[in-house]
Amino acid sequence: MTTCVYETIPQKVGEKPRFFEIKQSMNAAPLTKHPDTGEPIRRVVMGGFGVLKSGGAEKPSGGSSCCGPSGCCG
């Protein structure tokens, strides 16, 4: 089971969304209503950091195992 983050969809002007977590199968469709209250909700897509590179998996020049000759990604 995966833990998914959801938020309530504000129904009134000035209302702030509330965030919560629900455990779901990765194959489950996103929920549209809070299981306890019935409020409208949406799944929040949490992103990460990644570097995509075309052309296959080549090692960086300079013998480093990271992003550049200095071995530092930042």
Q: What is the pLDDT of residue 34?
A: 94
DSSP state of 26: T
**Residue (of 29, 30, 25, 28) closest to 7 by Cα position:** 30
Q: What is the pLDDT of residue 47?
A: 75
What are the residue boundaries of the structural domains of the chain, listed by start?
Answer: 2-43
pLDDT along the chain (74 residues), means of 10: 92 94 92 95 83 61 51 52
Per DSSP bridges, beta strands 41-43 and 19-24 are unpaired
Q: CA of 6: how far to CAs of 15, 19, 21, 39, 70, in Å?
A: 16, 6, 6, 12, 40
- Look up the pTM and report it: 0.60
Q: What is the pLDDT of residue 59?
A: 52
Q: What is the pLDDT of residue 64?
A: 47
Q: What is the pLDDT of residue 15?
A: 94
DSSP state of 66: S
